[in-house]
C-alpha cells in the first residue's frame, strides 16, 4: 500500500504536466529549419487571409521556451504574430517581460486574450460566446481572433504611456545590484533618480492616488493606480502634494523629493508594477 501511494505521489505531478500540455506542440527553435515554426508561420499568414474574408479560422496552439538571446521583437518577427497576440496570451506586462526559460503559448492566428467568464468576455467585445476560444491551461482566459489592442493599451505595454517623474541623474538602475546598506546582492525593483530635496515630483501617467504615507524602507511614499493593472510608486519623498483618492493627470505635481526611509542621499525611487510584478521603467522616448 505504501509503495502504491509513493508511486501515485511521484507520478501524479508528471501526469498532470502532460495533461496540461496535451495537444500543444513545441517549437524547438526560431531557425527557419524548425518544421513547427515553418507550419506556424504558414498558418498565421493563411489565417490573416481567412480573417480578411470574414471567416473564423481554427485556432491551434504551440509552445516555445524562451532562449538566452531571444527578445520580444525577435520572437514576434520569427513567428509573424503581432505585439497584441503574444503579450495578451502570455500575460506580459511590458516589452522587457522576457526571461530565459519562460514558456510562451503561441496561437496560429492573431488576436487578443481576455480574462473573465465566457459570457462577460463575449459581451465586452461584442462577440458570440461560442466564438471564444479557451486558452490551454488558463482558467477563465479566452482568445478572441482578429482583435487588437486599443492605442492606449499598446502604449502601456511598451511603457510609452509613462514619463519620468522627475528630471535628474539615474543613480541606480532596475535589476540586481549591491544593496548599499547590507552590501549583499539584491534585486532593485525600480530606478533611483538623484535630485535635491524639495524637487517637484510628477505623476508618470494618468491615474488615481491609492496611497499617501510612510511605507517601510520607501519612507514617504505615493502610489498611483493606472489603467490595465499598472501601478507606479514614488518613494523617499519629503512632502506630499496630493491626497488618497485624488485623480491625477500625467505631469501633475504629486509630491516633493527627499531622503526619507532607507536612503543614502536625496533621490526619488520610482517603480512601475503590473498586477504586483515590478517592470523595468524605460524612458528612451518620453522624458520630462
The pLDDT of residue 19 is 37
Q: Give the domain-ending residue among 82, 115, 149.
A: 149
On whether residue 159 sits in a domain, the answer given is: no
On whether residue 193 sits in a domain, the answer given is: yes
Q: Evaluate if residue 48 carries a pLDDT over 90.
A: yes
Identify the burial level of 94 via C-beta atoms within 10 angstroms of its C-beta, where 0-12 means exposed, 13-18 middle and 19 or more buried: buried
Instruction: Assess whether 108 and 215 both reside in one domain.
Output: no
Greater confidence (275 vs 288) lies with 275
Which residues share a beta bridge with 201?
255
Q: Evaluate if residue 21 carries a pLDDT over 50.
A: no
Greater confidence (23 vs 275) lies with 275
Chain Cα centroid distance, residue 104? 13
Q: Cβ(195)–Cβ(257) under 8 Å?
A: yes
Instruction: Assess whether 213 and 103 both reside in one domain.
Output: no
On whether residue 205 sits in a domain, the answer given is: yes
Instruction: Assess whether 192 and 128 both reside in one domain.
Output: no
Q: Tell me how far apart the alpha carbons of residues 116 and 183 are, in angstroms, rounded to a whole number.
A: 45
Instruction: Assess whether 123 and 195 both reside in one domain.
Output: no
Chain Cα centroid distance, residue 188? 17
Instruction: Assess whether 69 and 127 both reside in one domain.
Output: yes
pLDDT confidence tier of residue 227, bands split at 50, 70 and 90: confident
The pLDDT of residue 9 is 45
Instruction: Assess whether 129 and 14 both reside in one domain.
Output: yes
The pLDDT of residue 111 is 93
On whether residue 267 sits in a domain, the answer given is: yes
In this structure, of 65-69, 166-170, 208-212, 277-281, the range with the lowest mean pLDDT score is: 277-281
- Total of domains in the chain: 2
Instruction: Assess whether 118 and 202 both reside in one domain.
Output: no
The pLDDT of residue 147 is 85
On whether residue 188 sits in a domain, the answer given is: yes
On whether residue 284 sits in a domain, the answer given is: no
Distances (CA, A) of 163 to 51, 141, 205, 263: 37, 31, 7, 23
Instruction: Assess whether 63 and 107 both reside in one domain.
Output: yes
Average pLDDT over residues 33-61: 93
The percentage of residues in the chain with a pLDDT greater than 90, rounded to a whole number, is 52
Greater confidence (97 vs 249) lies with 249
On whether residue 206 sits in a domain, the answer given is: yes
CATH classification at residue 269: 2.70.70.10
pLDDT confidence tier of residue 159, bands split at 50, 70 and 90: low
Residue by residue, DSSP assigns the chain as -HHHHHHHHHHHHHHHHHHHHTT-EEE--SSTT-HHHHHHHHHHHHHHHHHHTT--PPP-EEEEEPPTT--HHHHHHHHT--HHHHHHHTT--STT---TT-EEEEESS-EEEEES-HHHHHHHHT--GGG-EEPTT-TTEEEEET----HHHHHHHTTTT---SS-SEEEE-SEEEE-TTT-SEEEE-SEEEE--TT-EEE-SSSEEEEEEEE-GGG-EEEEEE-GGGEEEEEEEEEEES--TT-EE-TT-EEEEEB--SS-SSSEEEEEEEETTEEE----SS---
Q: Tell me how far apart the alpha carbons of residues 207 and 226 are, in angstroms, rounded to a whole number.
A: 5
Instruction: Assess whether 108 and 242 both reside in one domain.
Output: no
pLDDT confidence tier of residue 15, bands split at 50, 70 and 90: very low
Greater confidence (198 vs 284) lies with 198
pTM over 0.75, yes/no: no
Q: Where in the sequence is the domain holding 236, given as residue range(s)?
A: 169-279
What is the chain's mean pLDDT, rounded?
83
Q: Cβ(108)–Cβ(59) under 8 Å?
A: yes
Q: Give the domain-ending residue among 93, 114, 149.
A: 149
On whether residue 59 sits in a domain, the answer given is: yes
Q: Cβ(240)–Cβ(255) under 8 Å?
A: yes
Instruction: Assess whether 127 and 182 both reside in one domain.
Output: no
Average pLDDT over residues 129-149: 90
Q: Evaluate if residue 233 carries a pLDDT over 90.
A: yes
Average pLDDT over residues 193-200: 94
Q: Give the domain-ending residue among 149, 181, 199.
A: 149
Q: Evaluate if residue 74 carries a pLDDT over 70.
A: yes
Greater confidence (30 vs 6) lies with 30
Instruction: Assess whether 142 and 231 both reside in one domain.
Output: no
The pLDDT of residue 18 is 38
The pLDDT of residue 14 is 40
Q: Evaluate if residue 253 carries a pLDDT over 90.
A: yes
Average pLDDT over residues 86-102: 84
Q: Tell me how far apart the alpha carbons of residues 111 and 206 are, in angstroms, rounded to a whole number.
A: 27
Instruction: Assess whether 195 and 226 both reside in one domain.
Output: yes
Amino acid at each position: 500500500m505504501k509503495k502504491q501511494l509513493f508511486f501515485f505521489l511521484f507520478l501524479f505531478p508528471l501526469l498532470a504536466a502532460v495533461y496540461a500540455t496535451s495537444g500543444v506542440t513545441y517549437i524547438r527553435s526560431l531557425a527557419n529549419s524548425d518544421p513547427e515554426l515553418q507550419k506556424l508561420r504558414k498558418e498565421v499568414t493563411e489565417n490573416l487571409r481567412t480573417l480578411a474574408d470574414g471567416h473564423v479560422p481554427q485556432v491551434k496552439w504551440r509552445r516555445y521556451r524562451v532562449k538566452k538571446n531571444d527578445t520580444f521583437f525577435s520572437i514576434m518577427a520569427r513567428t509573424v504574430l503581432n505585439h497584441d497576440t503574444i503579450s495578451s496570451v502570455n500575460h506580459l506586462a511590458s516589452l522587457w517581460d522576457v526571461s530565459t526559460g519562460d514558456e510562451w503559448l503561441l496561437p496560429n492566428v492573431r488576436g487578443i486574450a481576455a480574462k473573465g467568464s465566457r459570457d462577460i468576455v463575449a459581451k465586452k467585445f461584442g462577440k458570440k460566446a461560442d466564438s471564444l476560444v479557451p486558452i490551454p491551461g488558463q482558467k477563465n482566459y479566452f482568445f478572441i481572433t482578429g482583435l487588437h489592442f486599443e492605442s492606449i493599451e499598446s502604449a502601456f505595454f511598451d511603457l510609452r504611456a509613462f514619463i519620468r517623474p522627475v528630471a535628474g541623474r539615474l543613480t541606480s538602475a532596475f535589476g540586481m545590484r549591491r544593496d548599499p546598506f547590507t552590501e549583499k546582492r539584491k534585486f532593485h525593483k525600480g530606478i533611483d533618480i538623484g535630485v535635491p530635496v524639495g524637487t517637484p515630483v510628477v505623476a508618470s501617467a494618468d491615474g488615481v492616488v491609492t496611497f499617501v504615507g510612510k511605507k517601510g524602507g520607501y519612507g514617504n511614499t505615493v502610489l498611483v493606480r493606472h489603467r490595465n493593472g499598472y501601478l507606479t510608486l514614488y518613494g523617499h519623498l519629503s512632502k506630499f502634494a496630493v491626497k488618497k483618492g485624488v485623480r491625477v493627470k500625467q505631469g501633475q505635481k504629486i509630491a516633493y523629493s527627499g531622503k526619507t526611509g532607507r536612503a543614502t542621499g536625496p533621490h526619488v525611487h520610482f517603480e512601475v508594477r503590473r498586477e504586483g510584478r515590478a517592470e523595468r521603467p524605460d524612458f528612451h522616448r518620453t522624458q520630462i
